[in-house]
Amino acid sequence: MVLGRSSSFSVERMEIIAALYPATADVKQAEVQDFHSVRQALNVASADQRVLVVVNGPSGQIASLRKSLRSVASDERILGRVHIDFEENDEWRKTVTGLKDGPSIVVIRPGEFGMEGTAMHQLPLNAGHVEIITALLAANTEFATTTDKKVYSGHVAKGQDLGIYFEGGVPYGEDRDGDGQIDRGRPRGGRPRR
């Protein structure tokens, strides 16, 4: 709404705004994304229709990979095309099929509703950046060519019909009256909330 509906106009406006606020740091030094849990990461990756990368292993190895994978995550061919999560425990492995045992970098195709996933590639923690980027590009291409685009309303309706519900860490809804509780039912003078 702020930038208008024309895509060329929108891009032009965004470039003007970006020029007013130049970057003060190198994007290659940005922290690598990390979710609260693999469960949340799968759900977000499914919703965004992106491949998920789970880096799983001992805390010492994970800590060094958080820094070394910055160049992979900021590579222009990868940036914005995958989600990344770091996980030390193995509990998440129950929701992903096709996994091999042991610490690894796992490229996952999230399920339709983000409740499960399937391993597409699995690399050792010491894989080189070129090897990782090659696997991510291949997975992204496969995912994009074999996954139907979701239509939000149809997707939500199908999930409701199947009884699928994702309980997130933040409650759904709004606290419009400021009492610290999510408002339920009919607001004063308005339509019922969904």
The 10s digit of each residue's pLDDT in 77-90 is 999 999 999 999 99
pLDDT of residue 194: 47
Looking at residue 171, what is its pLDDT? 73
Which domains are seen in the chain, by residue range?
Answer: 31-144 (3.40.30.10)
Tens digits of residue pLDDT in 109-154: 999 999 999 999 999 999 999 999 999 999 999 999 999 999 888 9
**How far from the centroid of its chain's Cα atoms is residue 127's Cα?**
22
What would the pLDDT profile of 49-73 be if each residue is shown by its tens digit?
A: 999 999 999 998 899 999 999 999 9
